[in-house]
């Protein structure tokens, strides 16, 4: 029985694999993507930094970006007021790529729209809002910074070199003042500071490459104010510059073509900043002879820097004008100090043992004198003119200065004024009152004589009228006589004589009408 119902059994194995439902793929993918995003976000996050600013104007949490070269490298995450209640602290999340920029000398500033004489900047922030810009610096890493109140002059590490300009008058110049080279903007002023002795102002300027190689040994810088109007002994001069310089001032420089690459000046070399272009073109002569000149007349119109000319050619300049009072004699003197530059004069047949001072003394002994002359009738500026006056004597004064006195002569205006004064003095000495009285008496006598002459003329006219009537009666009588008779001949002869006499009287009356003074002086000889 057992065999009948016995079945051959074998162990079977179920080939059943565990399968994950597809519905689980969605959360898994979401988990992976989330994890990747979290990892990416965490991996891209950089350090958190804090920046102190004077104000939070234009800054917004989670909106204000931090940029370097217009690339976003961070974002403002919080803004708080500092404990001093005078500044605010900005907390920013930086990207990991900005880690190398966060050093001690790194600068931060807020970019806002600005409108000035030099132009408009930050105009794009009107739409995008203000942002914080970064200028990387060197030094050790740090995460707390003090923001700049304004953008630095050099926002990027531009190639070029810095130089120093020295001037006594700053004028409208300052940081960001543009520097032009032949009208091309090539740099700007970085900083300004007072010198150690407070007698000048030094400007640190930056000249971009490749223009910095043109700053050489004899380079001249001057203030390029746009419109340079000057009035001097040479008259009025007008010079214009770029429009930006006209609005906000500027600096320009030029380099003589004789300077070569070997004359390129090193960085931080110092130059003098001239006030005008004309001053920068003047050649500096180091070999000078100093003299003092005493002028007796007024020096109104003579200023420091006025030219000293020899026959119209400048050979020096006025360096000082003062006023002296002699307490003993109460005399007033005006010493004028001048610098003569002998190098301006080309010597011919130069003598080896004769110095410039000896040569000048020789010229003075030949009659070289200094005289004030008007340089311009429009401005009234005076200049010192040197010329030879051999007949003038040397009249020296009590010279209290350390310089040799140069003999002077009165100016042409002084000489004219002196001559006019002499004439006026002579006129003042004349007896003008007595002369006036006699002249009035003479005029009265002349009026009386003139009235008498008029009466005589009236009587003469009446006499002529009577004579004319007599002649008419005689003519009628002659007509009644027979021609050829003796009586008629005698009457004709008498009438002829009467007619001649009447003509003579008529000529006399006509002459007296035209020349009544003949009654006093007689008839002029013709």
What pLDDT digit, counting tens, does each position of 255-275 carry? Answer: 988 888 888 899 899 999 988
Q: Which helix (H) or strand (E) holds 497?
A: helix 486-514
Q: Residue 48: which residues within 8 A CB-CB, separation 6 or more?
A: 77, 91, 92, 93, 94, 143
Find the range with the poorest average confidence among 95-99, 220-224, 488-492: 488-492
Beta strands in 174-288 (DSSP E): 178-181, 184-194, 201-208, 220-223, 227-232, 235-240, 251-254, 270-274
What mean pLDDT, rounded, does the chain reach? 81
Contact yes or no for 295/334 (Cβ under 8 A)? yes
| Residue 481 DSSP symbol | S
pTM: 0.50
For the segment 22-68, what is each residue's pLDDT rounded down to a tens digit? 777 788 888 888 888 888 777 777 889 999 998 888 888 888 889 88
Does position 293 have pLDDT exceeding 80, yes or no? yes
Structure tokens at 260: 């070569």
> Looking at residues 469-475, what average pLDDT do you find?
75
The confidence band for 279, taking pLDDT boundaries of 50, 70 and 90, is confident
Query: The tokens 């000249």 sit on which residue?
Result: 207
Instruction: Output b/e per residue, 85-106; b: 16+ Cβ within 10 A.
Output: eeebbbebbbbeebeebbeeeb
**Per-residue pLDDT at 1:** 42
Please give the residue that has the higher pLDDT: either 459 or 154: 459
> Looking at residues 508-526, what average pLDDT do you find?
71
Contact yes or no for 142/103 (Cβ under 8 A)? yes
Percent of the chain past pLDDT 90, that is, above it, reads 12
From residue 459, alpha-carbon distances to 25, 464, 509 in Å are 158, 9, 10
Q: Alpha-carbon distance 292 to 403, whole Å?
A: 6
For the segment 422-460, what is each residue's pLDDT rounded down to a tens digit? 787 877 777 778 888 888 888 888 888 878 878 877 887
DSSP code string of 13-56? ---------GGGHHHHHHHHHHHHHHHHHHHHEEEEEEEEES--
Does position 522 have pLDDT exceeding 80, yes or no? no
**Per-residue pLDDT at 2:** 47
For the segment 297-327, what is each residue's pLDDT rounded down to a tens digit? 788 888 888 889 998 888 888 999 988 888 8
Q: Which residues pair with 320 in a beta bridge?
A: 337
Nearest one of 59, 50, 130, 134 to 97, comparing CA atoms: 134
Q: Which helix (H) or strand (E) holds 145?
A: strand 144-146
For the segment 383-408, what is each residue's pLDDT rounded down to a tens digit? 899 999 888 888 777 787 889 999 99
């Amino acid at each position: 029985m057992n065999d009948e119902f016995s079945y051959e059994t074998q162990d079977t194995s179920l080939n059943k694999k565990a399968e994950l439902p597809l519905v689980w793929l969605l959360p898994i993918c979401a988990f992976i993507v989330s994890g990747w995003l979290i990892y990416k976000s965490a991996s891209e996050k950089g350090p958190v930094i804090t920046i102190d600013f004077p104000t939070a104007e234009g800054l917004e949490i989670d909106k204000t970006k931090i940029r370097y070269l217009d690339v976003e490298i961070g974002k403002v995450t919080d803004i708080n007021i500092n404990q001093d209640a005078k500044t605010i602290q900005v907390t920013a999340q930086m990207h990991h790529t900005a880690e190398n920029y966060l050093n001690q000398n790194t600068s931060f500033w807020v970019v806002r729209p600005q409108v000035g004489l030099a132009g408009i900047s930050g105009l794009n922030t009107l739409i995008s809002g203000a942002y914080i810009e970064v200028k990387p610096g060197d030094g050790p890493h740090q995460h707390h910074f003090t923001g700049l109140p304004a953008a630095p002059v050099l926002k990027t590490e531009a190639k070029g070199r810095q130089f120093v300009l020295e001037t006594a008058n700053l004028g409208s110049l300052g940081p960001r003042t543009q520097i032009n080279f032949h009208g091309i903007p090539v740099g700007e002023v970085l900083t300004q500071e007072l010198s150690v002795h407070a007698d000048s102002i030094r400007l640190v300027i930056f000249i971009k490459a490749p223009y910095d190689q043109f700053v050489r040994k004899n380079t001249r810088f001057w203030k390029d104010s746009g419109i340079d109007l000057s009035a001097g002994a040479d008259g009025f001069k007008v010079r214009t510059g770029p429009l930006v310089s006209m609005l906000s001032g500027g600096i320009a420089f030029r380099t003589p073509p004789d300077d070569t690459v070997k004359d390129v000046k090193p960085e931080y070399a110092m130059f003098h900043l001239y006030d005008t272009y004309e001053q920068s073109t003047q050649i500096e002569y180091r070999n000078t002879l100093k003299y003092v000149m005493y002028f007796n007349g007024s020096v109104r119109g003579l200023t420091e820097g006025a030219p000293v000319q020899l026959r119209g050619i400048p050979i020096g300049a006025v360096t000082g004008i003062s006023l002296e009072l002699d307490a003993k004699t109460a005399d007033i003197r005006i010493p004028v100090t001048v610098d003569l530059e002998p190098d301006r004069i080309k010597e011919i047949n130069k003598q080896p043992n004769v110095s410039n001072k000896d040569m000048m003394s020789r010229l003075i002994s030949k009659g070289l004198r200094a005289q004030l002359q008007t340089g311009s009738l429009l401005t009234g500026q005076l200049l010192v003119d040197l010329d030879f006056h051999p007949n003038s004597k040397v009249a020296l004064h009590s010279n209290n200065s350390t310089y040799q006195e140069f003999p002077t002569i009165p100016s042409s205006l002084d000489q004219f004024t002196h001559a006019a004064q002499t004439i006026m003095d002579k006129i003042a000495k004349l007896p003008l009152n007595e002369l006036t009285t006699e002249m009035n008496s003479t005029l009265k006598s002349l009026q009386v004589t003139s009235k008498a002459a008029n009466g005589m003329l009236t009587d003469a006219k009446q006499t002529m009228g009577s004579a004319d009537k007599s002649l008419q009666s005689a003519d009628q009588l002659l007509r009644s006589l027979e021609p050829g008779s003796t009586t008629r001949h005698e009457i004709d002869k008498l009438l002829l004589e009467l007619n001649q006499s009447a003509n003579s009287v008529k000529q006399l009356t006509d002459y007296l009408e035209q020349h009544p003074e003949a009654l006093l002086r007689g008839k002029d000889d013709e």
